Amino acid sequence: MKKFPKDFLWGGAVAANQVEGAYRENGKGLSTSDVQPHGVFGDVIERVPGDSSIKDVAIDFYNRYPDDIALFAEMGFRCLRVSIAWTRIFPNGDEERPNEDGLAFYDRLFDELAKHSIVPLVTLSHYEMPWGLVKNYDGWGSRETIGFFERYARAVFTRYSDKVKLWLTFNEINMSLHAPMTGVGLPEGSSEGLVYQAIHHQLVASALAVKSCHEIVENGKIGNMLLGGLMYPLSCRPEDVFETLQQNRSWQFFGDVQCRGSYPGYMLRYFREHGISLDITEADRDALKETVDFVSFSYYMTGCVTTNEELNLQARGNILSMVPNPHLSSSQWGWQIDPIGLRTLLNVLWDRYQKPLFIVENGLGAKDSIESDGSINDEYRIRYLNDHLVQVREAIEDGVEIMGYTSWGPIDLVSASKAEMSKRYGFIYVDLDDNGKGTLARYRKKSFYWYKDVIASEGANLQEN
C-alpha cells in the first residue's frame, strides 16, 4: 500500500502580514505590506493618520492565536508554518537592538504551539520588509540591507534556538522579478539590472542566514522557498521546448544558487547579453557557498510557454503572463488546477537538487457560502486538496524525499495578490468581508473534518480518481 512517512509533517501555512493585524502594536514598525493596502502587485500608498487597510486588523491572529492554534490542534496538525514580522523585531530595520515586545510575542506563539506539540516552521521574511529600509536605503538595492537582515536573523535564531528548529529564508524569492516592491523593496518599473543586483544582495543575505542558523541553532535546519512555477511547452515545436527550459530556469536560478552555491552559466550568459553587470565581491562568492538543508516551495498552478507572439500577447493579463493550458480547468480566480503538475515538480526538484523537499503552500482560493444550518460545504476544496495529496503520495513512491505538507491558509486570511477576504483557502471560515467588516468569528468548514481524517489516517482516506 502507498503510504506517507510516519514522521511526515502535516499542517498548514500562514504569513504574519496576512493574519496578525496589530500593525502598530507594541512597537511594530511599518512594513512594505503596510503601505501596499491593495496587495503585493498594488501601488505603494504612504500611511497618513486616520487611514486604514484590511491588513491592519486582518484576522486578528495577533490576539486570537491561542484559539486558532487549538483549532489546528483539533485537526491534528503536526506543523504550522508562520512568518516573523521583521518590523516587530526591528521596527525600522536599522536599529542596533531588537524590540523586546516583538520578541516576546513570538515567544508566546511558539510556546502555544509547543503546548499542542505542533512544530513551528518559520519564514524570516514573507513578502514584507521594514519600510524604513526602503525609504532610507533603497531596500535590497543597497548592500547595507544585507547586514541589517543578518542582524535580524541572528537575533531571532538566538532568541528562539530552543523553540524553533525549522527555518526558511525568503518567501517565494523568485517573485521579485514580478513584484519588485514586495520582493526587494524597489519601485515597480525598476530596471532589470537594479532588480538583479537587489536579488543578488538578497541571495547573499539568505546564504549568510543559513550560515548563522547552522552556527546558532543546534540541530536546526534551514531551507529556501521558491514559487514553484512549473511551465510546460504549449507544443512540441523545438522552439517552444527550449523556451520552456529557459522560462523554468527563471525560477530555478534562485534554487540553483541557494542549493549549489554559485551562479549557473545560463544566468551569466543572460546577464552578458542583456547588458547587466552585477557587483559581486569575493566575499559574496564565499558566502554563497553555504547552501540550504532543504528546498521548500509553493505550488498552485502550471502554465504553458510558446514562442508564438500572438498567443503571448493574449496571455499578458494573466498571472505571471502564462499561456493557459487547454487541458486544464481553472479556479474562480483563473488559476489552472493541475494535481499531476505537483508530482512532476516534486520529481524535477528532487532530480535537480537531491535535497529533501517541503511543500509549504498549496491550496484552493474559492468563494464559500454559509448554508442556513450554518454549515459550509466546501467539496471543491476537498477535491482539490485530495487530488494534490494523491500526487504527493505518488511522488513519494517515485522515491522523492518529502518532509511535509503545509496547506496554504488553513484558516481564511487576507489574500496576498489583491488583499481580498472573499478568496478563501481555509478549513476554518472567518467572518470578515472584503471591506474589513465582520465579527471575526471562526467556523469549521466541511474540509476541516476531512483534513482531520487525512492526518489521522496518514492519508489512507485519500481517494484516487
Q: Is 172 in the site for ligand BG6 (CB under 6 A)?
A: yes
Piece in contact with ligand BG6 (CB under 6 A), picked from 187-195, 236-244, 385-393, 408-416: 408-416
Can you tell me which of 142, 212, 298, 336 binds ligand BG6, judged by CB under 6 A?
298
Q: Which residues on adjacent β-strands are paired with residue 248?
A: none
Residue of 215, 242, 220 whose CA lies nearest to 231: 242
Q: Is 365 in the site for ligand BG6 (CB under 6 A)?
A: yes
Piece in contact with ligand BG6 (CB under 6 A), picked from 108-116, 346-354, 412-420, 452-460: 412-420
188 in Cβ contact with 129 (< 8 Å): no
Determine whether 6 is exposed, middle or buried from the number of CB atoms within 10 Å of its CB (0-12, 13-18, 19+): exposed
Smallest distance, ligand BG6 to C-beta of residue 79, A? 16
What's the half-sphere exposure (Cβ side, CA atoms, 13 Å) at 22? 19
Can you tell me which of 81, 200, 355, 423 binds ligand BG6, judged by CB under 6 A?
423
Q: Is 15 in the site for ligand BG6 (CB under 6 A)?
A: yes
Piece in contact with ligand BG6 (CB under 6 A), picked from 161-169, 343-351, 414-422, 433-441: 414-422
Q: Is 331 in the site for ligand BG6 (CB under 6 A)?
A: no
- Among candidate residues 20, 172, 243, 290, the one labeled active-site is 172
56 in Cβ contact with 23 (< 8 Å): yes
Smallest distance, ligand BG6 to C-beta of residue 278, A? 26
Q: Is 412 in the site for ligand BG6 (CB under 6 A)?
A: no
Q: Is 87 in the site for ligand BG6 (CB under 6 A)?
A: no
Let me know if 172 is a catalytic residue: yes
d(CA 450, CA 379): 10
Q: Is 297 in the site for ligand BG6 (CB under 6 A)?
A: no
The answer for residues whose C-beta is within 8 angstroms of residue 191's C-beta and 6 or more apart is none
319 in Cβ contact with 334 (< 8 Å): yes
Whichever of 9 and 396 has its CB closer to ligand BG6, that residue is 9
Q: Is 408 in the site for ligand BG6 (CB under 6 A)?
A: yes
Smallest distance, ligand BG6 to C-beta of residue 307, A? 27
Q: Is 288 in the site for ligand BG6 (CB under 6 A)?
A: no
Residues in contact with ligand BG6, total (CB under 6 A)? Answer: 14
Q: 355 — phi, psi (to 5°)? A: -120, 150
- Among candidate residues 243, 290, 361, 394, the one labeled active-site is 361
d(CA 38, CA 48): 16
Q: Buried (b) or exposed (e) across 341-376, using 16+ Cβ within 10 A? A: bbbebbbebbeebebbbbbbbbbbbbebeeeeeeeb
> Which residues within the stretch 213-252 sit at the binding site for ligand BG6 (CB under 6 A)?
227
The answer for residues whose C-beta is within 8 angstroms of residue 116's C-beta and 6 or more apart is 69, 70, 72, 73, 77
Whichever of 42 and 264 has its CB closer to ligand BG6, that residue is 42
By annotation, the residues acting in catalysis are: 172, 361
The binding site for ligand BG6 (CB under 6 A) comprises 15, 18, 127, 171-172, 227, 298, 361, 365, 408, 415-417, 423
